Amino acid sequence: MSIRSITKPSHRLAGRHLATLIALVSIPVLLLAGCQTATPLHEAQSPETIDSLAVYVEQPDGATELDGKTVSGTIAVSIEAEGWMRDVRFFLDGVRIATLTRAPFEIEVDTTTLADGPHAIGIEARMANGRVRVSQLVEFVVDNETASGEPTAPDDSTPPGDEPEPTEPTPTEPVPGTDLSLRGDPSFTRSSLSAAERDWHDALMARIANPASDFDPLAFARRDDVYHYGRTLHTYVQSILTAFRVTGDLRLLDHVDAIAEVMRGELRDGWRDTLDGTDGTRDGYLNWVFRYGNSTTYQGKDTHQINEMRTHSMIATIAYALELNRDLASPSGRNYGAHADFWTDYLVNHFEAKWRERRNKPTGFPIMIRPHTHTYYSWTKWHYYMGLLTGDAGYSAEADRMASVLQAELRTVATASGSAYVWPRSVLAEGGGDEFLHPTTYARYVYADIVEFHLEGFHFWSDPVVMERFARTMTDLVVDNPDPVRNDFAADIGGGESQAGFVSDPNWSRLSVHRYALSSFAHIGPWDPTARLAGITADIHHLRNARDSDTTRLMTALLLDARLRGAIATAAAN
């Protein structure tokens, strides 16, 4: 029996893992999956099947439901694809025959390879958290003899010059240990980690217990400042949640929740500490304020769009992580579900409602756009998680649209070790006017989101080949000298030289080791085949850790690297 998967070009590429893409061994079955009404996440996590799929078979007079039909020859079976589907699994008579991670979810079944009589096709559609949202089993009858007048056998020959066109490869199952969701592991123990993972996990937990002299996350949370929330605190929270993905250690989620609860205590309605005398201005919505610099336009107010977007994309991520674990017991007694509910309500009825009112955009998307690339990434992320939190397909559709815009902004360049990506400082398709290469001072935020999107299996970032190209941008362009620990890193993602039509702006400073340590560049390290970036990261960690400087993001990157490289090596050995 042979199985052939049929795939078509789609922006939803490979899944949430580093497994090499290979073609499945082939039977001819065509499957599409049915339109479902989007459901809030905490409902969708019920262990029972909450939706059903209508499974169709193509007939000469159109599609009809497969259940109970008598079929012969090559049949096409279909369900409609929905944006929430991370993957769809196909079973024939109880045996899994394919797992597809992008729409259209199509396979063909050649019934001539099956015995005449009853058979069944099973389908499971899974969400981003790995839970089965819909499952369906349909029965059908194969009757090849009646259809043709005599039993048929598969014809393995192919006339010369009539070979079938090659199909796109279908992803294998995730390599065990690389499918990293935000779902915690209630049975986590240190012994479940490899030796290398355990070392970095222990170091990280020690740092959380005793913050470095130059960065205390809880103190940052008390600043009531969207500038620092959206930047330094944002990348810190991302790094802790990345470690949580690797380990499932709920103490890490508790740490993030503790930070969020301090931030929650800083919310109030009204401007404060303004420089233009407008303290006390209220609009009925809870807010934090902008406290960076001395701008009379923004100081003490909640009107700085860029920092509002960046901060609230972090809050949406936290809310989703809490939502995903609402049924689990917190090690320190924290109420994940209640806190997820608060933040979801705040995001919709305060943050979003405020900006819809200000922008005169009561419905629909986009609500607002800022074309700076790092902000556009964060705003894409906000829509992605809001779609998961609320079940509102409008958010998800906007996240998909914005992701496609970002994909189109990339240009491929050749380096000594292969292809890499470069992109502009501002999103040109959204009105950005700077056709300059992205400065590394801003690209550090982009790299944090790239890795987060990949681990979520979202859009084109889910493809390991894409991640390798982003990694090569770092190793072949941003690392522009043999010893960046002493000589720092390039000022832009082109290595200080114009690339692919984008100009290198000489006015930006080189990326310092200090800034590298407080950024998330290192998280792309697992997709660097040479492992050079991991070595640089480890060197910087040891240097700065000895000075009691914060290296949380570096430790998390090395923990992630240990997990992914170790899992793939183990899979290869087996």
The stretch 444-469 carries a mean pLDDT of: 95
Per-residue pLDDT at 568 exceeds 90: no
Q: What is the pTM of this model?
A: 0.73
- Does one domain contain both 202 and 85? no
- Who's near 104: CB < 8 A, 6+ residues apart? 7, 8, 10, 32, 81
Is the distance from CB of 185 to CB of 249 less than 8 angstroms?
yes
- Does one domain contain both 420 and 334? yes
pLDDT band at 317 (very low <50, low <70, confident <90, very high): very high
291 lies in some domain: yes
Per-residue pLDDT at 439 exceeds 80: yes
Is residue 459 helix, strand or coil?
A: helix
Type of residue numbered 96: R
The stretch 300-321 carries a mean pLDDT of: 98
344 lies in some domain: yes
- Does one domain contain both 229 and 105? no
Is the distance from CB of 56 to CB of 32 less than 8 angstroms?
yes
Q: What pLDDT sits at residue 176?
A: 62
Is residue 296 helix, strand or coil?
A: coil
Q: Find the length of the chain.
A: 574
- Does one domain contain both 329 and 443? yes
Q: Are strands 74-78 and 170-171 parallel, antiparallel or unpaired?
A: unpaired
Higher pLDDT, 140 or 545: 545
Q: What pLDDT sits at residue 119?
A: 87
Burial of residue 172 (CB within 10 Å: 0-12, 13-18, 19+) is middle
Considering the chain, what percentage of its residues have pLDDT values greater than 70?
80
What is the domain count for the chain?
A: 2
Distance CA 177, CA 19 (A): 11
CA angle (190, 196, 199) in 5-degree steps:
60
Distances (CA, A) of 554 to 131, 300, 520, 536: 31, 33, 8, 10
Distances (CA, A) of 570 to 194, 196, 243: 11, 14, 20
494 lies in some domain: yes
Does the N-terminal peptide bond of residue 529 adopt cis geometry, omega within 30 degrees of 0? no
Is the distance from CB of 102 to CB of 7 less than 8 angstroms?
yes
- Does one domain contain both 108 and 40? yes
What end-to-end distance do the CA atoms of the chain give, in Å? Answer: 25
The stretch 527-533 carries a mean pLDDT of: 95
152 lies in some domain: no
DSSP single-letter state for residue 16: S
**What six digits make up the tokens of 561?**
């690297």
Per-residue pLDDT at 469 exceeds 50: yes
Element at 141 (helix H, strand E): strand 132-142
DSSP single-letter state for residue 56: E
Q: What pLDDT sits at residue 14?
A: 31
- Does one domain contain both 110 and 197? no
151 lies in some domain: no
- Does one domain contain both 373 and 303? yes
CATH number of the domain residue 99 falls in: 2.60.40.10
The stretch 2-17 carries a mean pLDDT of: 32
Q: What pLDDT sits at residue 43?
A: 37
155 lies in some domain: no
The stretch 76-86 carries a mean pLDDT of: 74
pLDDT band at 170 (very low <50, low <70, confident <90, very high): very low
Higher pLDDT, 162 or 402: 402
Q: What pLDDT sits at residue 475?
A: 97
- Does one domain contain both 238 and 125? no
Which of 290, 297, 260, 305 minimizes the C-alpha distance to 276? Answer: 297
The stretch 484-493 carries a mean pLDDT of: 97
154 lies in some domain: no
Per-residue pLDDT at 154 exceeds 50: no
Distance CA 209, CA 426 (A): 39
- Who's near 384: CB < 8 A, 6+ residues apart? 395, 396, 399, 453, 456, 458
Q: How far is CA 5 from the centre of its chain?
A: 25
Q: What pLDDT sits at residue 353?
A: 98
The stretch 460-476 carries a mean pLDDT of: 96
- Does one domain contain both 224 and 81? no
The stretch 87-108 carries a mean pLDDT of: 73
The stretch 129-134 carries a mean pLDDT of: 66
Residue 64, strand partner residues: 57
Q: What angle do the packed helices 234-247 and 305-324 form, to 10 degrees?
A: 20
Q: Are strands 170-171 and 56-59 parallel, antiparallel or unpaired?
A: unpaired
Per-residue model confidence as pLDDT tens digits over 347-360: 999 999 999 999 99
Per-residue pLDDT at 7 exceeds 80: no
Is the distance from CB of 462 to CB of 406 less than 8 angstroms?
no
Computed over every residue of the chain, the mean pLDDT equals 84
Element at 109 (helix H, strand E): strand 106-110
pLDDT band at 318 (very low <50, low <70, confident <90, very high): very high
Per-residue pLDDT at 222 exceeds 50: yes
Least confident of 167-181, 214-228, 318-332, 421-435: 167-181
Per-residue pLDDT at 531 exceeds 80: yes
Q: What pLDDT sits at residue 131?
A: 64
The stretch 49-73 carries a mean pLDDT of: 70
- Does one domain contain both 222 and 93? no
Distances (CA, A) of 197 to 43, 249, 553: 34, 12, 15
Per-residue pLDDT at 15 exceeds 80: no
CATH number of the domain residue 420 falls in: 1.50.10
Type of residue numbered 303: T
Is the distance from CB of 527 to CB of 565 less than 8 angstroms?
no
**What six digits make up the tokens of 211?**
């913050």
Residue 478, strand partner residues: none
Distance CA 388, CA 39 (A): 9
- Does one domain contain both 118 and 204? no
158 lies in some domain: no
Is residue 142 helix, strand or coil?
A: strand
Distance CA 252, CA 136 (A): 36
Distance CA 286, CA 290 (A): 14
Q: Which domain holds residue 501?
A: 190-573
Per-residue pLDDT at 310 exceeds 80: yes
Is the distance from CB of 266 to CB of 326 less than 8 angstroms?
no
DSSP single-letter state for residue 360: T
**What six digits make up the tokens of 563?**
């997990």
- Does one domain contain both 112 and 234? no
pLDDT band at 385 (very low <50, low <70, confident <90, very high): very high
**What six digits make up the tokens of 270?**
């009204």
Per-residue pLDDT at 456 exceeds 80: yes
pLDDT band at 140 (very low <50, low <70, confident <90, very high): confident
